[in-house]
Structures are given as C-alpha cells and as structure tokens.
Amino acid sequence: MQKPLTLGIAGLGTVGAGLLQLLDQHKDRLAERVGRQLRVGGVSARTRNKDRGVGLEGVAWFDDPVALATDPGIDVFVELIGGSDGVAKAAVEAALKAGKPVVTANKALIAEHGLALARLAEEKGVALNFEAAVAGGIPVIKTLRESLSANVVRRVYGILNGTCNYILTTMTEEQRSFDEVLKEAQARGYAEADPTFDIGGFDTAHKLAILTSLAFGTEIAFDEIHVEGIESITQADIEAAEDMGYRIKLLGVAMKTASGIEARVHPAMVHRDSAIAEVSGVTNAVAIDADFCGSLLLIGPGAGAHPTASAVAGDIVDIARGSLVAPFLTPTASLKPYKRTKLGEHQGAYYVRLSVYDRPGAIASIAKRMGDREVSIESIVQRRPPGMGAKRAPGAPALVVMITHETTEEAMRLAVDAIEQDGKVSERPQVIRIEKLNGDDRS
C-alpha cells in the first residue's frame, strides 16, 4: 500500500463536519478502494473547542487556514469555509502556489475566480476539483468534465438551489409564508450564511456560471448572467400556476444561440407533469442536452452535510488515484471569451399576473397593448383576489392572469411597460417566463 494521503481540511461547519464523519465511517473501505489511507493531518476553523461530532485527537489545529494550506505535512488542501474572497481565496491560492491539489465546495470562489485559480492549478500541474460546488451530491461536474467530454453540449439547465426549491415547494404544498419557510431552510443547514445569496438567485447564478464554462468551453462569466430571485413570488402566483397546469421553479438555464450564450436565472413556469416539476424540497435537478448522448436529467440532493461531503470525498478519491483533468475540461488557454446573447432576443411564452382596476374597457386596453407588440394571448382568466369575498368595491383591482403564445422578451417588456403607463393596473404586472423543457412539445 502507498503512503497515506494527508488532508488539510479548512472549515468544519455543515460540510466539513459531514466530511470528517464520512472519512471516519468509510476509512477502511476508502483505503481498500484507492490503495492508500486517507488521513486527516490538520484542520482549521474559527472556534477551536466546538464539538464537531467526530474526534479530532492527534489532528493538528491551525488558526490560520493559509498556514494549513501551505503546511509541508499536507498533501491535499480541502477548502470548506465559503465566500468568494477573503481567507478561502487566500488559502486556495496559497495551496495551489505551493503545488498542492485543492478540493473545494465553494461555488462563489470558483464562479468569481475560477479562471485564475484554474490557470494556477494548470501551471503547477495539480488538480482543482469542485464537484460539490454545483448541485451538492449530484455528480454533474464529472458528468460534463469526463463522461460527456466527447459531446457538444447545446443546453444545460436545472434547479440548482435547494433552499429556493424547498421554499417554493413548501409554499405550494403547505400554503405557508415565504419568511417562515426560509427560517426552516436555514435551520436545516441548506441556506448560505447570507440567505439573500439563495433567494436572490446569486447562488444559482454561481453554479450556472460554472456549468456554462464547462458546457460551452467559455471563460467563466458570472457577471454576464441575468439574475432574478424568488422574492416576488406570491401565493397568488403559486395558486394561479397550479390552476393553469404549471409549477414555479427557480431555474438556471444556459444555452447556445446564434449570437452567443443565453444564461439566465429566474423563477420559471414548468408544466406540472414534467419531471422537473416533480423535483421537490431541497432536491436539485440538472438537465443536459448533448449532441451524441442526447438528453440527460440528473436528480438528487443539492445540499446538506452528507450529500455534499460525498461529492467532496469523491474529488479527494480522484486525487488519491492520481487522476488529473483540466478544471474546466478545456485547458484555460483554449477557453473562448464569453459572448452574451441579449435577453431581449429570448423567445418563449409568458405568464402575466395583473392587478386590473375592474372597470369597463380595462381588459380591452390591456389586450390592445399586447396586440400592438404582436404578443398573442393564449388564455386569460379573471380571478378573485386571495382572501377577498364576493363583494368588492366597484373599480377595485381584480386579479387577471394570462398566458401568452411564444413571443420575444423585448416585445413582452414593451407591452408590459405600455400597460403600466396606461394606468389600468394598480401595480407593475408580474411576468414569469414559461420554460420549454426537454421532451416538452407544449409552449
């Protein structure tokens, strides 16, 4: 048996503690599989005496993760602290500069500095593995980087944030409030330290930026992604979606278009009988359309201590076996500059919820504004606002929900601007894109 592979683990929170448990529980099995012991040589966290649920006797403690990353006794540095800058970045850079392979679960770091870090890793000829950074326990990085490496990918999309999916599913199934369900997601360890990263769509955008680079061989471009979060989704939208045969999901979508790459994160309507609509709770799903392989859908746990630790440990096993792949599949020198498709060119159908002053001619005027921009209405329903009885003051706003036929984002935006300016609605209309999924022939 070869000499043990010594790990330095920085960050002993949800994921770090999960990893310590896995390494302890599967110690002998892992040694058998890779032909060497995986041993924890040093750890770092903020608070030394916290109970991590696993004994750390004989393991060196480092107050400073950078010192751990460069310690000569460490073979592999595992970064599980989080954050795109600060100590996590400093430690990963230091480890790579010292010629040590790195494993990280940190999507913010990879999405924002992945290119520079990958260059450094390539220069030093060491691995930079980040399977856990996208969709927790789902092996989507390996799928793109290894299994589909001989394909041309046309589109990659999915539910990439467990917290948002948990919130939307629970709001749908239990009619509970956004705030209450968010607190529950935080208590269960799904949400990021700052949950606005989750609900604002930025966590999904970080993951999508990584997938986009791997899928299309482009430089990573987190800032070029269009991002909308789930904060504006109300019970009225959730109920209207159900009535019209849809579910609302926060999706990240990246696809090649004639003019570049369209990458967007936003709440989307998906048909209720699609596989993605059935993905509930903290579960994530990633769909990939590839030319030779066809369409794949990977579904699994996107967050939580054990699934994420499983992905981190898989990356460590690869290093222990001596496997070395370019971090973004295409070596950094050959990655193409990212070229963004204008969102106005996006084509699709839309859900529109309007709060319309209930007066003669209001709908006619709205329909005219849509027609002026060649936006064709597929269905329209006037609903009683939630919590409101049959009696409503004359002219008080009524809830009107419509679904359009396919149109462009630009036409839709201009129509909605004109409707708002006409003063027939009491607030800016809610517009949600309807996503056409693999195998979905409906709009």
**Residue appearing with tokens 């300016």:** 421
**CB-based contact 173:248 (threshold 8 Å):** no
Asked about 207 being catalytic, the answer comes back as yes
**Residue 402: beta bridge partners?**
352, 380
Residue 87 binding result from ligand NDP, ligand HSE, none, given CB thresholds of 5 to 8 Å by partner type: ligand NDP
- 207, 249, 256, 436: the catalytic one is 207
Per rule CB under 6 A, is residue 44 in the interface with ligand NDP? yes
Helix (H, G, I), strand (E, B) or coil at 147: helix
Q: Considering only CA atoms, which of 139, 130, 35 is closest in space to residue 80? A: 130
Per rule CB under 6 A, is residue 87 in the interface with ligand NDP? yes
Per rule CB under 6 A, is residue 14 in the interface with ligand NDP? yes
Per rule CB under 6 A, is residue 303 in the interface with ligand HSE? yes
Task: Dig out the tokens for 104 from the structure.
Answer: 């990280």
Per rule CB under 6 A, is residue 425 in the interface with ligand HSE? no
Between CA 15 and CA 21, with CA 17 as vertex, the angle to 5 degrees is: 115
To ligand HSE, the closest distance from the beta carbon of 13 in angstroms equals: 12
Query: From the list 44, 104, 106, 163, which residue makes contact with ligand HSE (rule: CB under 6 A)?
Result: 163
CB nearer to ligand HSE: give 62 or 190. Answer: 190
CB nearer to ligand NDP: give 41 or 82. Answer: 82
Per rule CB under 6 A, is residue 222 in the interface with ligand HSE? no
Stretch that binds ligand HSE, among 23-31, 157-165, 209-217, 310-318 (CB under 6 A): 157-165
Whole-angstrom distance, CA of residue 429 vs CA of residue 193: 32
Per rule CB under 6 A, is residue 15 in the interface with ligand NDP? yes
Buried b (16+ CB within 10 A) or exposed e, 183-215: ebbeeebbbbeebebbbbbbbbbbbbbbbbbbb
**CB-based contact 297:286 (threshold 8 Å):** yes
CB nearer to ligand NDP: give 81 or 279. Answer: 81
Per rule CB under 6 A, is residue 138 in the interface with ligand NDP? no
CB nearer to ligand NDP: give 80 or 126. Answer: 80
Per rule CB under 6 A, is residue 189 in the interface with ligand NDP? yes
Whole-angstrom distance, CA of residue 287 vs CA of residue 95: 33
Q: Considering only CA atoms, which of 63, 25, 68, 71 is closest in space to residue 46? A: 63
Residue 198 binding result from ligand HSE, ligand NDP, none, given CB thresholds of 5 to 8 Å by partner type: ligand HSE
Per rule CB under 6 A, is residue 80 in the interface with ligand NDP? yes
To ligand NDP, the closest distance from the beta carbon of 187 in angstroms equals: 12
- Nearby residues of 106 by Cβ (< 8 Å), 6 or more positions away: 79, 80, 81, 82, 83, 84, 88, 92, 130, 133
To ligand HSE, the closest distance from the beta carbon of 134 in angstroms equals: 8
Task: Dig out the tokens for 82 from the structure.
Answer: 């989080």
Per rule CB under 6 A, is residue 303 in the interface with ligand NDP? yes
Question: Could you tell me the strand order of the sheet in which 128-129 lies?
Answer: 60-62, 38-44, 5-10, 76-79, 102-104, 128-129
Per rule CB under 6 A, is residue 300 in the interface with ligand HSE? no
Contacts with ligand NDP, residue ranges (CB under 6 A): 10-16, 44-47, 50, 65, 80-82, 87, 105-107, 132, 136, 189-190, 192-193, 303-304, 308
> Known catalytic residues?
207
Contacts with ligand HSE, residue ranges (CB under 6 A): 136, 161-163, 190-192, 198, 203, 302-303
